Amino acid sequence: MRALQRYRIHLGTAAWILHRLSGLALIMYMLLHIWVIHHLIGGRESFDRTMEFFNNPLFKALEIGLVGVILYHLWNGLRVTLVDIGVAVERQKQVFGAAVILWLASWGVIAYAMLTRVGGLLSAMARLGGGGLS
């Protein structure tokens, strides 16, 4: 019982630390994103030169990771809000499990979509290897 309680506290603490770390990462990304997109001011050439740098498999893979970070912050944020307003407090474990499942499932669906679309990671890799996917 004591071991169980300690496990639960550790899980909650880990989720809390990850929430802060994912938030910090998203702030850094947001500020960089605003900086990158501001090249629109310079018109077509300036923007396309900037985006050329990011249109490769490395950044397309990083974007899929970014979506995972966003979705973690989203689902854990919803879970924490439920705890804060006192909804399903006696079922916190189930809520936690549901949040993890929703996080991984939504990440899986969106990652698959980003991976397989034309202009996505797979077509960028095929283009890099001289293949004909896109």
Helix axes 121-128, 92-116, angle to 10 degrees: 40
CB of 63 to other proteins, least distance (A): 7
For residues 120 and 56, what is the distance between their CA atoms, to the nearest angstrom? 9
* Tally of residues, the chain: 134
Q: How far is the CB of 65 from other proteins (least distance, A)?
A: 13
- Residue ranges in contact with other proteins by CB under 8 A: 12-13, 16, 20, 23-24, 26-27, 30-31, 34-35, 37-38, 40-41, 43-44, 47-48, 51-52, 54-55, 63, 67, 70, 74, 77-78, 80-81, 83-84, 110, 113-114, 117-120, 124
**Least distance (Å) between residue 26 CB and other proteins:** 6
Residue 130 CB, shortest distance to other proteins, in Å, is 17
Q: Which residues of 69-104 are buried (b: 16+ CB within 10 A; e: fewer)?
A: bbbbbebbeebbebeeeeeeeeeeeebbebbbeebe
Locus of tokens 């293949």: 131
Q: Which of 125, 129, 133 is nearest to 55 (CA)?
A: 125
